[in-house]
Amino acid sequence: MILLDDNTPALLAAAGAQNAVPPILKDEFGQTILAQDSITRTVADSLKSMNLTDLKDVVTGRNTIIQDGLHALTELTVSFVPKLLIAILILWVGMKLAKMLKKFIVRTLEKRNAEPSLKTFLGSLVDVLLKAMIIIMAMDVIGIKATSFIALLGAMGLAIGMALQGTLQNFAGGVIILLMKPFKVDDYIECGNYKGYVRAIRIFNTTIQPFNGRTIIVPNSELSNKSIINHTKEPILRLDIVASVAYGTDLDRAKEVLLQVINDDPHVLHEPKEPVVAVSELADSSVNFSLWMWVTVEDYWTVWLRIRENIYKAFYANGITIPFPQMDVHLNKN
């Protein structure tokens, strides 16, 4: 008998043996053994069934299967490597551009004196979105279709948007307010039923404090979608006051007294225009004068409170009657 290793049956099969390989036996040392006559018969049958070309291919290694495999590998390398290089280039250039664009947006917001929280949030949001787009482009170049991935992200975004509809509206309103700046902190604004000084502008809401010291928290969606009166946007404001006198009063004298009250106030400006006093209405029980005067934003409420007191004192000192509602009642004897 002949001692063979464990690869003997595989070599015989590779040689093209058509008959079945004889049974494999193990000796006491665990080595594979075959009967000598069985080996001789198997090799002879294999040589008979092989032609010269097959034997040459086996010896030289030019097997058709190997050639087909090498050809397929070459085609894959030639077609895939350029795409891989292009994808790497897209990733490298795209990441650089995303970083530059993020810095540009942050610098632009800094020039507009935007809130620090807004700068950080918008910079991070733009950075993430751009990087996601770049990765999807690179995947598409190398042949990985990202259509289903994009559809999944879109469905998730739609579901989240519907669940957080009100919150997202407030967020969008906060971004608009912080970017467009229709008002700023310490401005006195009026929006619907809300009036007061702006104390804080946040991403989702704005805090307003009226004269009574209360705190009003208004959703930003309401402030961004409704008309707003900003009373302190300009540095100089016109203060309008109405003063009434009784019928029968000397109007020229009353006008002189009112002009004197205005001119005596140190906070009333004579630019951009001189103060104006004119009869504006002949009411049921009084003749009404309109007083137009210009003051700074800082002095507006000081003059607003003080001027009325000074008008009353001046009218009283000059014998000018301040009217009150009157009604004439005529009685019929019948």
Whether the Cβ atoms of residue 262 and residue 277 lie closer than 8 Å to each other? yes
| Whether residue 73 is found in the same domain as residue 52 | no
| Whether residue 78 is found in the same domain as residue 155 | yes
Q: Could you tell me if residue 333 is inside a domain?
A: no
- The helix/strand/coil state of 218 is strand
**Which contacts of 206-213 are long-range, i.e. CB under 8 A and separated by 24 or more positions?**
206/174, 206/177
Whether the Cβ atoms of residue 262 and residue 278 lie closer than 8 Å to each other? no
The confidence score (pLDDT) of residue 232 equals 86
Quickly count: other Cβ atoms within 10 Å of residue 77's Cβ.
10
Q: Could you tell me if residue 287 is inside a domain?
A: yes
| Whether residue 241 is found in the same domain as residue 225 | no
| Whether residue 209 is found in the same domain as residue 267 | no
| Whether residue 223 is found in the same domain as residue 241 | no
Burial of 295 (0-12, 13-18, 19+ CB in 10 A): buried
Domain range enclosing 34: 2-60
Q: Name the domain boundary from 42, 60, 78.
A: 60
Quickly count: other Cβ atoms within 10 Å of residue 194's Cβ.
16
| Whether residue 187 is found in the same domain as residue 269 | no
Burial of 18 (0-12, 13-18, 19+ CB in 10 A): exposed
The confidence score (pLDDT) of residue 208 equals 93
The confidence score (pLDDT) of residue 156 equals 73
Using CA atoms, how far apart are residues 96 and 83, in angstroms rounded to an integer? 20
| Whether residue 158 is found in the same domain as residue 73 | yes
Alpha carbon 77 to its chain centroid, in Å, reads 43
The confidence score (pLDDT) of residue 27 equals 46
pTM: 0.53
| Whether residue 125 is found in the same domain as residue 187 | no
| Whether residue 281 is found in the same domain as residue 201 | no
| Whether residue 226 is found in the same domain as residue 270 | no
- The helix/strand/coil state of 279 is strand
Using CA atoms, how far apart are residues 126 and 121, in angstroms rounded to an integer? 9
Identify residue 330 by its one-letter amino acid code: H
Which regions of 88-204 does DSSP assign to beta strands (E)? 188-191, 194-201
| Whether residue 90 is found in the same domain as residue 145 | yes
CATH number of the domain where residue 275 is located: 3.30.70.100
Q: Could you tell me if residue 176 is inside a domain?
A: no
Q: Could you tell me if residue 283 is inside a domain?
A: yes
The confidence score (pLDDT) of residue 58 equals 46
The confidence score (pLDDT) of residue 256 equals 93
Q: Could you tell me if residue 253 is inside a domain?
A: yes
Structure tokens at 21: 């390989």
Q: Could you tell me if residue 51 is inside a domain?
A: yes
CATH number of the domain where residue 219 is located: 2.30.30.60
Whether the Cβ atoms of residue 326 and residue 285 lie closer than 8 Å to each other? yes
Tell me the average confidence (pLDDT) per consecutive run of 10 residues in the chain, 334 residues long.
46 46 47 48 52 50 57 67 82 86 82 70 77 82 71 71 70 81 88 88 86 88 87 89 91 93 92 89 90 92 91 92 76 73
Domains: count for the chain: 4
Q: Say what angle helices 64-111 and 116-141 make with each other, to 10 degrees.
A: 160
Q: Could you tell me if residue 130 is inside a domain?
A: yes
Using CA atoms, how far apart are residues 275 and 257, in angstroms rounded to an integer? 13
Using CA atoms, how far apart are residues 287 and 252, in angstroms rounded to an integer? 12
Q: Name the domain boundary from 22, 39, 60.
A: 60
CATH number of the domain where residue 150 is located: 1.10.287.1260
Q: Could you tell me if residue 324 is inside a domain?
A: no
| Whether residue 288 is found in the same domain as residue 251 | yes
The confidence score (pLDDT) of residue 31 equals 47
